[in-house]
Structure formats: structure tokens, C-alpha cells
Structure 1
Amino acid sequence: MFIGGSWRQASDGRTIDVLNPATEEVVASVPNATDSDLDEALTAAAAGFEVWRRTAPSDRAEVLDQAARLMLERVDEIAAILTEEQGKPLEEAAAEVRQAAEYFDWFAAEAVRSYGRLLPTAPGRRSWVERRPVGPVAAFTAWNFPASLPARKLAPAVAYGCSIILCPAVEAPRTAAELVRALADAGVPAGVVNLITGDPPRVSERLIGSEVIAKITLTGSVPVGQTLVRLSAERLQPLTLELGGHAPVLVFDDLDEAELGRAADALVRSKFRNSGQVCISPSRIFAQEAVFDQFVDAVVERVGRLSVGPLANKRRVDAVEALVDDSGAKVLCGGERPDGPGFYYPPTVLTDIPPDAAVLRDEPFGPIMPILPFGTLQDGLAQANAVPYGLAAYVFTASLARADEAIAGLDVGMIGVNEVALASAASPFGGVKASGYGREGGTESLEAYTVATAVTTKGAP
């Protein structure tokens, strides 16, 4: 753990094992923080905030800029750690580390742009709005993107003058530690950035119950988000919640054969990236009736060429297997857990899916691709919006008019048209409905990590 500028073990020496999901072997042990460790982190964050809030934005920018450089210099080393504890291919892990560095680099530039505004007022008076750092932040991240998710919280918090206690998922915590190490080596003052590993319910309850924490941010599941909302109610701490989704895709019949093939390429690549463990993964595919069979054939042919990668843990394998086995759907490929060690489940394509199947209601978060037909655009929109989630959606069409209608009708926070790459440092990331609220990434992060303070002055009475 990193507390108050020092790396340390838990005060009682307890640890949590980290497994390699490809082999189920223990590859590391990390500290299991005690209550006294958490209290020390809170004390450090409070002290760090008093220093950092008064630090010039240009100095904050310099720390982030240097940390980004260090991460890029260490990309191979960090990517190897990421792959070992999370399971994604090494090339993809390296790309994620570079994306995390991009967040640091982008927010380094934004640190000096936390503009307020001057308000018109009567002569003899001045009135303005300034943005002030919200305070110490408790940040909780999931295991599916162990570099980019922590970076999405660390970078704006540091840029805008907050201190932060980062609590990465215990399944893949060492990657986050390397991001914190880069910030420490770049000269971030003691207490500004802290890293805790430990039992999630106990850690979150202790941190959120403290008067120190002024802001909570989570990337995780809906049940965890609901728990944090309840914990935050006593002290009315503001939250930013990104709670996953069940992203619909509308594939329209105006696509020709080549365009359908390119759509299938993009969706197979996006759906099965990271073994489907992506919150914006296209997870309910609706193809218009006239091209349904042709599109399904194109998808199955491409899925058959994929190599099988591990899921992050046994819980995910069990959950994915149950969704497929209980779906009552036709399994076109995949659908059977392989023998042997490791947390594997093959890429699976489903059709003829009953409307009440759980796979159409519950976020699969695994390598399952359900494909269903739809008739009119309005029918497609109705099916697309028929879940409590609203994070991302995708549209594939050759018609600008259809694209515009679909964009207007989709009830989500992010939309891709003939495109599946939605996340970047410059773009706000977040959803609506059960997918959470608030945004991280882009200039919208200024609202998440600062408060607007209105000031009015006049001459002496």
C-alpha cells in the first residue's frame, strides 16, 4: 500500500492472494488493510489535500506530465503485470497502459484550464464563479481495466487539486500500484495520492464513514453502487457512479454485403475483447430482419477464428455458464466450459432467445453474443431501451437519416455510429438509468472533482 508517501504492508501483516486467471496460480500477495491503516490513509489524505489545493495548477500539471512519461517508459513492465493478474493479451495490456498515460497527459493540460467566469454586476461590485477542488476523494475501481480505470480517477483528481485514496479491485491491484508509483516518482507530495488494498465492504464502509472524504467515485456493479449510495447518505457526499451496462446494437438492412462484413468484424472484435468483460461491450445485437441470417452467418464465421482467453475469476465463469445454460436459446458456437485449469469460457453466439431470458436482462459481462431480429426502427429502439441500463449503444447503417433517428431515440450516455471505440481522455464517460450518474473524462470531469463557488464583493461600507 502507499500511505502518506511511503510504501508499506498492512499493520498486522495480513495479505490477500492475487491469482493468474489463466492458470489459477497465486502470483502475488497484497496487503489486507486494517482499520488503523485506513485511518492513517484518511489522515494522510486530509493533510495532502491542504498542500495540494494550494499548489499552482502548473505544478500539478508538471507532476502529471512526468508521470505519463514514466508510464510510457515502463509500459512493457506494467503490461506484463497487468496480463499476469487480469488475463488479457499482452498487446492489449500494453495498449491499456498507454491509454492510462494518455489520461495523465491530457489532464496535465487541463490542470491549468479549470476556468471560472466573471459575472456582470453593478458598478462598485465584482462577482465571479471560481472552481475549487472538492476535497479528498475515495475512488473504487473494477478489475476489468486495471490501468485505465484508476487513471480515469487519479488524473482529474490530481489535476484539479484533490487528494485521493485509490482502492483498486483486489483481483488485479498491482497495476494500479504502478500508476501510483509513477506519480510518486514524478514528485507528487506525500498524502496527495494514497493506495489501499483490502476487503472491499470493510474498506468502503470505513472510508465513506469518515468526515475526511468529500467525494466518492466508483466504477463497478449496480449492487456495489447502491451500497455506496446508502453509505454516503449520512454525510451527503457527492458520487460519480459508472455501473456498467447492457449495450444494444442496431444493425440496419441498408448495409450491403461488404458493409455487413465490416460491421461483423467490428462487433466481434469489440464484443469479445477482454473476454467480453467490458462495460460498454455490445451485448444485445439486433439485426434487421432482411439481413438477419446473413449477419448471423458472418458473425459465426468470425467467432470461429477467435482464440479463447481467460475470464478474470471463477465467479465470472460460473455466471456466464448459468446465463447460457438457462437461456433456452439456440447455441450456434461455444457454450461449453472447457476442462483444465484457468477461468475459461469460449466465445458463444446465441439466437432464438426467449424474450424472458436472463441474458437479455442481466449484464452478461462475458463472452456471450445474443443476436435477435427486429422489424422497424421503432421496434428496434423499443427493444434496445427495454433494460434498466443506459451506458452505451451502437448503430450500423449507411443512412444518415436512420442514424439521426436512432441517435435521438436511444436512451444511453454514449453512442457509436459505425464505430465501437468510444472511450478517450477527451470524451465524457458515463451513463443514465441504472448505469449510474456523473461523468469522468473530458472537460466534464471539472464538474466531478471541483465545486463552483460564487463570490461577490463591493467596496468598504
Structure 2
Amino acid sequence: MQMRVGGRAVDAAGGGRISVLNPATGAAVDDVPAGTAEDIDHAFDAATGAGDAWGRMDPRQRGKILGEAARLIRGQLDDLARSLTEEQGKPLHEARNEVQGCANVLEYYHSISGSLRGESMPLASYGYALVRKEPVGVCGAIIPWNMPVLIAAWKMGPALCAGNTMILKPASSTPVTTLRIAALMESAGLPPGVLNVVTGSGTAAGAALSCHPDLGHLSFTGDTATGMEVAARAGRHATPLTLELGGSDAMIVCADADLGAAAAAAAANRFYNCGQTCTAVKRLIVDDAVYVPFMELLKGRVAAIVTGPGTEKGVTMGPLNSPEGRERIASAVRETEACGAGRIVMGGDAPRGAACADGWFFEPTLMADVAPEAPVWCEEIFGPVLPVMRTDSFDDAVTIANASEYGLGASVWTRDLDTAFQAAESLEAGVVWVNQHLRLPPDVPFGGVKKSGVGRENGADALEQYTRTKSILIRR
């Protein structure tokens, strides 16, 4: 497969290729160009050339193109889902949901494309004031491998709706489905050069994009350490940033919670996508009064998870995306147990069986009696490990939840409205759920606090990230 620059499929300037591997088997799925700084420059030229006409187009017309792209994506839902499963590893039903989510986001920005308005106001001492919302120009987007299609839409939707052009750099392990969606967007009427997809490594193509001196905006989703490096590069040119970084979401189960619903949600929202989701439940805090019955319900839910290749019928959890990721998770579990900071209740190793023999699988793992210093508690574990801590008061639970350098999301499970509001106000997170977790409609702003990032994606708020305000004062 080739990159897409200026509406054409092209190879990398240097001619190198990167293999895309199936995490369930280790076999090659495809290969893509190993893009370089030269390819980023070519994409920037194409995006700049397309910018004036695209930015002047009626916003509603831009929105119609996004809406048509959503229709075409839905028309190829099964093929795109299989492509995503083969390169990323997630079960087919999760891949279908993600592709549907991509279409939903593009459709949402179609629906609000007519809302891009400025202001006008008469000012007695100054004359007449106009406030315009203008495109920022060429935008860069660096996409992670865990939710590549959905997160690409989070960045493409508002940027293109606001009249910007874009250079998108997908993760080197999951570029294939994104390239196919870019081609569908061109088929929907997106002019050549408006969206350019440059494949390649983070150290080559990603680094070149993040330090490009003429970007109007850069959006990055990934781990916190890499995000800090991206921010440093972009900061040399004062490039405006949106950073969606790591998370260690806490889930608080109160004594009055619906324990069955909470246990089901804890399992579903930790082990979804093999635990490789920024806003997954990564720290579970349970009131001591209901700890024993809750854990029995939770163990039943975890035991029901079926691990295997995502293309197989009945599988509910696929492999990790890389062997390095599996080793990091296994190491954190071993270290936690070795230092007495937690004990394994279920899982803790690679699963046995022929179906999982060749891929990068890890058992759904439940750990109890976890201490605050445990690696599986204080670090972001990007995989299927759920640590549980018990507490004897709601105030302590909130304090424990907030004792993290991350602040992406959190949830509270309670039947009491006062407790729900107290949690919503007290939890240090960009998103707080009550009696649910992980659900993110495209209408609602999403982003974190502390080391979980800056800026917001989704909703009308995201449009603000991709526009600049110009004030015009007129006096006769």
C-alpha cells in the first residue's frame, strides 16, 4: 500500500518500506512506505496548495463532503473492520464499532458545519467591531495504534470542517485502514491535497511533522513521555497544540452501587481492546462493605472473557499490539507480586492453546490487595491487567483516585445523587462518568488534565482548537 499525498498514491522519497504485522499471528498483513522529512515537506506543499480554495468553501459544503465520506465508510464497514482487526488485533465486533465511530464523528461535524460564525457588534466609542473565525492553515495529526481509525476522525473532523488542510501520520503498526478511509474521503469529494497521509516511523516522519515550522496546529495522541517530546519540538515554533496523553482512570464502587452492573462494567471497560485504551478502567477502588460480593461478581465476568485471534467467532479479547508491550505488562505484574504489593487472583501469564501460540496474547488478569506503590497501580498499564484496592470511605476513595499524575477520566458507581455530584466535582479528570465508563459520544468535549494532556477533542469545542480569532475594528 502507498501513502496518499495531493490526492495520489505515492511511495516514500527514500524508497524504504515498513511491514505491518498481524498481532494474532506475527504474519505480515501489508507493507507501507517509510516516509521521511522529505515526504512531510511534499505533503506540506500539497496541503498549502489546497488550503486557499478549501478554506474559502462554504462550510456547509465542506460538511456535506464529510457526511458523504461517512456514508461511504459505512458502505464498506465489514471490509474496513476486517482490515482493522488484521493490523491491530481487536475482535471484529470491536473493529466494527470503531469504524462506525469514525463515520459517526464525520457525520457529527457535517451536522454542525453551519455553526461556524463570528460576531458583529456596534461600539459607540470605537465604531463597528467584527470578530472572524478563520482557519489556522495546515494542521498536523499524529495517530496512535490503539484506536487508529476513531482517533483519526477526532482530528480530521473538526480540522477539515473548520477549513484547514491536514497532514496525518498514522502509527507505523496500524496505517492500512486509515489509508483506505483517506481514499474513501477523496471519493466523497475531498479535493486533492486537503488530507495527506504520510506513513513512517515516529522518529522519522513523526519527528519531522512535529517540528515543521509552518504548521498552524499540531494534534498528538499517545503516551505522555512521547507527548512531552512532541510538545518540545512544536514549542520551538510556537505551534498551537492539542495533546491527548496517558491515563490511569479510576473507577470508584460505592457501598450503595448496583454491584452487578458495576462488575460487568469494570470487566468490559478494562479488557475492551485488550486493555489498550487511554480511558480504560485502570484502577478499581471498592468500598470495603461490598468488596467480597463485588469481587465474586467481577471474577465471574473476567472468567467469561474468551481470548484469541480477533477474526475467530466468539472471541471477546484479542492480542496486544506488540511483543514489547506484552513484556512490559508481564514485567509489571511480576514485579508487583514479587515485592508484595499485590497478588494475582486470575491470569498473569500468556494463555495456553494453539490459537494463541503465535501471537502477542496475555491473559485477562485480576490483582487484589494492591498497594499504592505497586507498578500495576502507579504506572499506566496499557494492557489487560485490573488492579483492585479496597477502602472504607468515599472521601478516601476520591483521595486515592486523585493521587495520580494522570487525569484523563474517572467514574463513580452509586445510587445516591449527592454522592454522584460530589464525585463529579471532586475527581481531578477531564471526563467523569456516573454509573458508566468509557462511552464518548462525538458531541462531548474530551481531554485530560495534569499529565494527561491539554486541549479538547470532539464537540464544538474542538472547532475552537482549529480556528484563529481575528478582530476587525471599523470607524467611519
Shorter-chain TM-score: which interval? Answer: over 0.9
Q: Structure 1 residues 105, 348: CA separation in 2 closer, same or farther (over 3 Å shift)?
A: same
Contact 1:430/1:436, CA 8 A, preserved across alignment: yes
Instruction: Report deviation, 1:189.
Output: 1.2
Using structure 1 for the length normalisation, give the TM-score. 0.97
Name the residue aligned to 2:225: 223
Any idea what SS the aligned residue of 2:189 has? Answer: coil
**Which residue of 114, 121, 124 corresponds with 1:122?**
124
Is 2:206 aligned against 1:204? yes
Name the residue aligned to 1:288: 287
| CA-to-aligned-CA distance 1:124-183 (integer Å, 9 cap, x gap) | 821121211111111001111121010111111110000000001111111111221111
The list of structure 1 runs, each at least 4 consecutive aligned residues, that deviate by more than 3 angstroms after superposition, is: none
Name the residue aligned to 1:264: 263
| CA-to-aligned-CA distance 1:292-322 (integer Å, 9 cap, x gap) | 1111111111101111121111121111101
Measure, in 2, the Cα distance between the counterparts of 1:224 and 1:119.
Answer: 44
Any idea what SS the aligned residue of 2:56 has? Answer: coil
Is 2:137 aligned against 1:135? yes
Higher mean displacement: 371-380 or 435-444 = 371-380
Measure, in 1, the Cα distance between the counterparts of 2:71 and 2:187.
Answer: 11
Measure, in 2, the Cα distance between the counterparts of 1:208 and 1:262.
Answer: 43
Name the residue aligned to 2:397: 380
Name the residue aligned to 2:299: 300
Is 2:320 aligned against 1:326? no
Name structure 2 gaps, 5 residues minimum: 308-317
Measure, in 2, the Cα distance between the counterparts of 1:315 and 1:30.
Answer: 21
Counterpart of 1:331 in structure 2: which amino acid?
A: I
Counterpart of 2:11 in structure 1: which amino acid?
A: Q
Name the residue aligned to 2:93: 91
Is 2:379 aligned against 1:362? yes
Contact 1:136/1:213, CA 8 A, preserved across alignment: yes
Instruction: Report deviation, 1:12.
Output: 3.0
Name the residue aligned to 1:453: 470
Contact 1:439/1:445, CA 8 A, preserved across alignment: yes
Name structure 1 gaps, 5 residues minimum: none
Measure, in 2, the Cα distance between the counterparts of 1:263 and 1:173.
Answer: 35
Any idea what SS the aligned residue of 2:386 has? Answer: strand
Instruction: Report deviation, 1:333.
Output: 0.4
Count matched residues: 456
Using structure 2 for the length normalisation, give the TM-score. 0.94
Contact 2:136/2:466, CA 8 A, preserved across alignment: yes
Instruction: Report deviation, 1:233.
Output: 1.5
Q: CA RMSD in A?
A: 1.2
Any idea what SS the aligned residue of 1:203 has? Answer: helix
Counterpart of 1:325 in structure 2: which amino acid?
A: R
Name the residue aligned to 1:337: 350
| CA-to-aligned-CA distance 1:14-56 (integer Å, 9 cap, x gap) | 1000000000111110110133222111111111212211111
Contact 1:46/1:212, CA 8 A, preserved across alignment: no
Counterpart of 1:337 in structure 2: which amino acid?
A: A
Measure, in 2, the Cα distance between the counterparts of 1:39 and 1:421.
Answer: 37
Instruction: Report deviation, 1:123.
Output: 7.3
Name the residue aligned to 2:179: 177
Name the residue aligned to 2:76: 74
Any idea what SS the aligned residue of 1:12 has? Answer: coil
Name the residue aligned to 1:412: 429
